[in-house]
Amino acid sequence: MTPLFYLKTFGCQMNKHDSDSVSQILLNEGYRQSEIAEDAQIILINTCAVRKKAEDKALTLIGRLASLKQKNPDIIMGVLGCVAQNQGVDLLRRFPHLDLVIGPRNIHHIDKLKTRNRKEKNMVSCLDWTDNICLFPKYNGYLKGKVTCFLKVMEGCDNFCSYCIVPFVRGRETSLPATIILDRAHQLIREGIREIILIGQNVNSYNVKNKAKPSFAGLLRALDGISGLQRLRFTTSHPKDLSDELIGLFGELKTLCPHIHLPVQSGSDAVLRRMSRGYTVEHYMTLIEKLRTTRPDIAVSSDMIVGFPGETDEDFQESLSLVDELRFDNLFSFRYSDRRGTKATGFPNKVGEREKQERLSLLQERQARITLAKNKSLEGTVQTVLVEGPAKHGGEQRSGRTGGNKVVNFASNTSLTGALVRIKVIKGFQNSLFGEFSGPESHSVE
Ligand code: SAM
Ligand code: SF4
């Protein structure tokens, strides 16, 4: 009988990319993926430590899984990712049912580590700070039916924003060689992928530290020239590293989608300074103006933290005003949480949990109105949409995304997966658009 593995992923796109790599390694070893932990011989949890909430959820799940190990001691149980890196052997002490603890830079050793665990009949941890991060295993059909795919261009971060745990758990910034990225992009396209999303914690500082070529702009130019690639996106960019050259590419490259995720974090200069972000609100606003001048239809999304230590009511009002002024297409907002080892953990004047929640609700209400208004303003327009597959709620509806990264559902009795189509927007909702098919932009790949 084919052995099964179960893999639960918490957190960001980087974690999803890492989980895809782990899944491919196990599939190549002859395992099959199961959606049910109880059925699996290997159970893995890929964890996120960026905010307390995600970490707590992962720890609760790890605790709950102890009963499965009691029932069947032959199961291999492992924790991967940022919580694994951060808590290391403490996790093995706290959860004696665990077999493996593997940090984000070592997940591609999953096959060797699980074999070692069986041979030595002992818990195994692997938390080395290796720069060997080329997590590009063979696909073996893994991408079948997929249209869009993440492609990692760098690992780690050197910015040390005062609230952020990433540099401590993913290590120093390491850019992957461009030849490897380009080879992988060619492979992805041969496998049927039409849209590539370059990912890294700070993609626009790609190759800066090691003074290597190409720059991030050069990498985008090279990717844009690959035949068969229809769309190119990247995330996340840091405002302090967003060059005029990179902004200019939004008006130049045919595959680069009119969307940028540019986290601002706060609308108050005093808070930005204490966050060690390296830019002012004015600089951020200038960047948005330049982006909108270069590409008037560009969609901008951002991240904000509320309740950072010392954030006053006035600081928070400045964040609200910035949101009103810049009118983001989308905003991901979070309550600040202390992360072990970060500078902000020791900052005075912590904001109370109730205050943080109230500020978060106010900010989210404000943004929800803007997002809805932006989506409604697209009613009557015709958008180019890359069709990704059946809509979530089923029926005969298909789903895809506009260049501005908005989800569009529309009725169709043919698959159209992988095709660029023209959709007339009928209705703008809070989280998606509904439209009708008004013709192909290119041929379907199916
Ligand atoms: N590299 C990206 C950047 O520079 O903006 C973001 C990476 S971080 C994994 C994703 C988001 O989580 C951040 O933009 C920030 O808004 C949020 N975040 C990070 N640390 C946080 C903390 N301690 N409390 C609350 N939110 C946090
Ligand atoms: Fe964290 Fe700042 Fe690095 Fe983003 S740039 S990953 S927020 S330290």
pLDDT at res. 136 = 77
Which parts of 150-280 fold into alpha helices (H)?
166-169, 178-190, 216-224, 244-249, 269-274
Q: Which of 12, 14, 158, 161 to mutate to test the pocket of ligand 2 (most atoms within 8 A of CB)?
A: 161
Q: What is the mean pLDDT of the chain?
A: 94
For ligand 1, residues with CB inside 6 Å are 12, 50-51, 163-164, 166, 201-202, 236, 238, 263, 265, 303, 305, 334, 336-337, 339
107 burial (CB, 10 Å; 0-12 / 13-18 / 19+) is: buried
Residue whose CA is closest, atom 4 of ligand 1? 238
**161 Cα: distance to centroid of ligand 2 (angstroms):** 6
What is the rounded average pLDDT of the residues 249-277? 98
Question: Atom 1 of ligand 2 has which residue's CA nearest to it?
Answer: 164
Q: If you measure from the C-alpha of residue 50 to the centroid of ligand 2, how many angstroms do you get, rounded to a whole number?
A: 10
Between the CA of 392 and the centroid of ligand 1 the distance, in Å, is 28
Query: How is residue 272 written in tokens?
Result: 């930005």
Q: Does the pLDDT value for residue 445 go beyond 70?
A: no
Residue type (1 letter), 202: N
Cα separation, 321 vs 326, in Å, equals 9
* pLDDT at residue 358 in the model: 98
Instruction: Give CA–CA dist 185/199, Å, rounded.
Output: 13
The residue contributing the CA closest to ligand 1 atom 25 is: 336
* Nearest alpha carbon, ligand 1 atom 11: 303
The CA 323 to ligand 2 mean position distance, Å, reads 21
Cα of 322 vs centre of ligand 1, distance in Å, is: 18
Choice from 154, 163, 202, 261 to test ligand 2 binding pocket (greatest atom count within 8 A of CB)? 202
| Other beta carbons less than 10 A from residue 335's beta carbon | 18
Position 33 pLDDT exceeds 50: yes
- Say yes or no: CB of residue 238 within 6 Å of ligand 2: yes
Distance CA(438)–CA(440), nearest Å, equals 7
Nearest protein Cα to ligand 1, atom 13: 303
pLDDT at 443: 47
Pocket lining: 166 vs ligand 2, CB cutoff 6 Å: yes
Using one digit for the tens of pLDDT, what is the confidence trace for 191-214?
Answer: 999 999 999 999 999 999 999 999
pLDDT in tens, 364-391: 999 999 999 999 999 999 999 999 999 9
Contact 328, 302 (CB under 8 A): yes
| pTM, to two decimals | 0.95
Q: Is 161 in the pocket of ligand 2 (CB under 6 A)?
A: yes
Q: Identify any residues that bridge with 9 across adjacent strands, giving them in sequence order.
A: 46
**pLDDT level of residue 134 (50, 70, 90 thresholds):** low
Decide if pLDDT at 446 tops 70: no
| Half-sphere exposure of residue 296: CA atoms within 13 angstroms, side-chain side | 0
Residue 444: predicted pLDDT: 43
Cβ atoms of residues 189 and 229 within 8 Å = yes
Q: What's the pLDDT band for 442 if we cut at 50, 70, 90?
A: low
At residue 135, the pLDDT reads 62
Nearest to 164 by CA among 319, 347, 341: 341
pLDDT at 114: 86
